[in-house]
Structure 1
Amino acid sequence: MDDSYLTIKRPSRSEIKVKGSRFIGETLVVSTVDDALARLADVRKREYQATHHCFAYIVGLPGNQSFKYSDDGEPNGTAGKPIYDVVAGQGVTNILCVITRYFGGTKLGTGGLVRAYGEAARQVMEMSGMTEHYVTCEFLFKLVFPIYDRWLKVVHELEATVVKSDFSDSVSMRIRIRTGRVDRLLDAFTEITSGSGTVEKISDNQTD
């Protein structure tokens, strides 16, 4: 499994107008399907006078993602799929994109709807930006004090994070590291401690 993923940098909101209809685009950071549905419900409640709330969401880590899109009463394939194609094309996850339409009195036709929803999604996605996040694991390491400096150097070289350190007769360290670097960290720990240290996994597959 890849230990990095892309998501939006910031929730955003934008609007375009096409032949009198308003298309309001919103992006929201979500972590689960239930989260996405709850945020969608919030948008529907706030924009309760709108004609349609078309959307697409993608949630989950790479290789284990869930997604859904909806036309919400627009002709089949004219809204949800164009929104999804824009979002998925950016390679992002943990995102809900909602395009709310206030009908302006002029029908746009299927082609016009596809273009309008796609453009609304592209505009709000551009405003949202992208950022890279990492999947991490957390471990508790226990070792004797004389080898602490050598161990800390390895931790820094692997760009791991020391969450907490306790010093007494021995050293206890909670360390968070990208999943793709776990094997290197554990191998180095075994080598430095000559097998005398102990390690316990505290958490797995966290997202930052």
Structure 2
Amino acid sequence: MNYKSIKDPIEVTYTVERSKFIGNIAKVNSIDEAQKFVKEISKRYNNATHNCWAYKVHEEGREISNYSDNNEPSGTAGKPIYGVIEKFGLSNVALVVTRYFGGVKLGIRGLIDAYSKTSEEVVKASKVVTYEKTFIYEAKCDYSNFSFIQNLMQKQNNFKITKQKFSDEVYFIFEISENNKDVVLSLLKNKVYNLNFVGNSEGIL
């Protein structure tokens, strides 16, 4: 399954009517990771007026999301933050917007706009990438077949050798995208031996 998320965590600051809003975003792979990120940012800014948040993750084949206004008026913070996650089509992501009250009340509309704007700014400042599930295999082959495999790697998308060891034969580990797996394994069928599935990972398209 392919999905869009961010590459690296990032922070931005946005000011409205002397209230300072700090947006933090990170890629997460589970509810636990999302909650841990929210706690981490809330602890970092534990003297702030509010730490509002939203997350969306795919876990065990389900899409799970949650958000919180953290004592801002209902619907003015968590939901707008989550709305930005949806607007940009992101998944496996957590976003926290911290507010330091500046003495001027923003009103319902003003709060919604401020939390939305901060969330948009932090997403725009981050690098949005597409992730996909990859499969890792190990195999052995003769030297005569290894050049074929190297050429195949150059021609096929999302197929890369991550480790190789040369002795009287070639031992190598390769990673392949879910979309390309069946094609490449079929092409390798008569070129390798001792082919074993190692596990799954996640790659950037």
Q: TM (normalized to structure 1)?
A: 0.85
**1:98 is matched with which residue?**
96
User: Are residues 1:54 and 2:52 paired?
Assistant: yes
User: Are residues 1:170 and 2:165 paired?
Assistant: no
User: Are residues 1:35 and 2:10 paired?
Assistant: no
1:207 to 187, 193, 202: 202
Structure 2: distance between partners of 1:162 and 1:88: 35
Structure 1: distance between partners of 2:188 and 2:127: 38
Structure 1: distance between partners of 2:36 and 2:193: 46
Q: CA deviation at 1:59?
A: 2.7
Count of aligned positions: 202
Q: CA deviation at 1:40?
A: 1.6
SS in 2 for 1:180: coil
Q: CA deviation at 1:117?
A: 0.9
Cα RMSD after superposing both structures = 2.3
| Identical residues among aligned pairs (%) | 32
Structure 1: distance between partners of 2:55 and 2:45: 19
SS in 2 for 1:149: helix
SS in 1 for 2:180: helix
Structure 1: distance between partners of 2:118 and 2:142: 59
Q: CA deviation at 1:169?
A: 3.7
Structure 2: distance between partners of 1:77 and 1:167: 61
Q: CA deviation at 1:18?
A: 2.5
**1:72 is matched with which residue?**
70
Structure 2: distance between partners of 1:90 and 1:84: 10
Cα deviation per residue 1:35-90 (whole Å; 9 max; x = unaligned)? 222222121122111111111112337x6433221111112211111001112211
**1:81 is matched with which residue?**
79
Once superposed, which parts of structure 1, at least 4 consecutive aligned residues long, lie more than 4 Å away?
none
Structure 2: distance between partners of 1:97 and 1:145: 50
Structure 2: distance between partners of 1:201 and 1:85: 39
Distance 1:176 1:81, change over 3 A: same
Distance 1:183 1:36, change over 3 A: same
Q: TM (normalized to structure 2)?
A: 0.86
**2:186 is matched with which residue?**
187
Gapped runs of 5+ residues in structure 2? none
Structure 2: distance between partners of 1:113 and 1:100: 12
SS in 2 for 1:117: helix
**1:132 is matched with which residue?**
130
Structure 2: distance between partners of 1:127 and 1:85: 17
